[in-house]
Amino acid sequence: MIQAMREVIVAGNWKMHTVPAEAGQLARTIAARTRIPGVTRVICPPYTSLAAVGAALAEHDPDVGVGAQNVHHELQGAYTGEVSAPMLAGLAGWVIVCHSERRRDAGETDALIGRKLQRAIEAGLRPILCVGELLAEREAGQQETVVSRQVRGALADQAPATLEAARLVIAYEPVWAIGTGRTASGRDAAAMAAAIRATLTELGFTDGGERVPVLYGGSVTSASMDEFMAEPSIDGALVGGASLKPDEMAGIVTRAGLTATARAGSV
C-alpha cells in the first residue's frame, strides 16, 4: 500500500536560536535521545551553526540530517547577507523552502519560492516546501483554495518527475498556529493533506501524490503529536520551538516511531 512506502519524518526548525558553541552539544543530545527505528530525523539550525551541527552529528549520529532554513533564488551575485544553494552544498542535505515567516517578513511570493525550490534541487538539497493559510483565510473557508494556490505556484515550473526524484516533502503549516500555542486538529491537518495531494494529482504526480510525505507544523509538542500521527495522511512533523528541547523531541520522535513501525508491518 502506498501509505506504507512514505517516510515518517521529524524535522526540527531552530529558527533564530543557538550560537555555534551550544548548537553542537544540543544536536548531540537530541540525536542521542531520538534514535528510533523508521523515523527520518533532520535538524535545521541557523546558517551560522550549520558547520557545528554537521560536525557534531557526523561524529555522534550521522543518520540525522542537517537542513538549512532558507536558500536564495540566485546562484550568486550582489545579494548582501544572502546564502545560495551552492554555498550550502556540503553543509546541509536538506532545506526549508518558504516558511510562513519568510512570506510574512520577507514578502516571498509563490513565483520566488518556485525559483528557490529549483535552485535547491539543482544543488542536490532535499526540499521541505511549507504551505499554509492565515487565520482570516481559514475563518472564510478559503484554506484549501489558498494552500492549493501556494502548491501550484511553487511547483509550476518544475516537472513532477524532477520533484519526485528530489524527494520533495511538503509541510502544512497553518500560519495561525505557528508560535501561538494554537494547533490545528488532526482532522484539520488530514483534510489539508488531502487537498495538497489532490493538487499534486492535478499537476501530474505519480499515484496522485501519494508518494510525497506531508508533515504537519504549527506549535507541535510531544502532547499534540499523537493526534497528528493518528491520521494516515500525515507523515510526521516540522517542529518549531519544541525542537530546542531534547525531552520534547524525544517524545515527538517516539510517537512518530509508532507510526513508522505500524506502516512497516502493513507492507
Mean pLDDT, residues 60-85: 97
Taking residues 138-158, report their average pLDDT. 95
The whole-model pTM stands at 0.96
pLDDT tens-digit series, residues 37-58:
999 999 999 999 999 999 999 9
Look at residue 102 in the predicted model and tell me its pLDDT: 84
Find the mean pLDDT for residues 53-65: 98
Q: Kindly report which listed range (39-43, 109-113, 149-153, 229-233) carries the lowest average pLDDT score.
A: 109-113
Instruction: Give the strand pairing for 169-172 and 214-217.
Output: parallel
Residues above pLDDT 90, as percent of the chain: 86
How far apart, in Å, do the first and last CA atoms of the chain sit?
A: 7
Most confident of 4-18, 36-50, 102-116: 36-50
The gap from C-alpha 12 to its chain's centroid, in whole angstroms, comes to: 8
Domains, the chain, ranges and CATH?
2-47+56-218+232-265 (3.20.20.70)
Q: What is the DSSP string of 153-182?
A: HHHTTS-HHHHHHTT-EEEE--GGGSSSS-
**Residue pLDDT, tens place only, 206-245:** 898 999 999 999 889 999 999 999 999 999 999 999 999 9
Is residue 142 left, alpha or beta, with left meaning phi > 0 and alpha meaning psi from -120 to 50? alpha
User: How many helices (H) and strands (E) are present in the chain, helices listed first?
Assistant: 12, 8
Residue 1 scores a pLDDT above 80:
no
pLDDT tens column, 160-209: 999 999 999 999 999 988 877 777 899 999 999 999 999 999 999 989 89
Integer-rounded Cα radius of gyration of the chain: 17
Instruction: State the cell numbers at 237.
Output: 512533523
pLDDT of residue 171: 98
Average pLDDT over all residues of the chain:
94
- Phi and psi of 125, rounded to 5°? -85, 140
| CB count in 10 Å sphere of residue 15 | 17
Say if residues 126 and 92 touch (Cβ distance below 8 Å).
no
Q: What is the pLDDT of residue 113?
A: 95
Q: Return the residue matching grid coordinates 544572502.
A: 82
Q: What pLDDT is stored for residue 267 in this prediction?
A: 64
**pLDDT given for residue 63 in this prediction:** 98
pLDDT (0 to 100) of residue 206 = 87
**Could you tell me which residue, 5 or 225, shows the higher pLDDT?**
225
Q: Give the position of cell 533532520.
A: 42
Q: Which residues are catalytic?
A: 99, 173
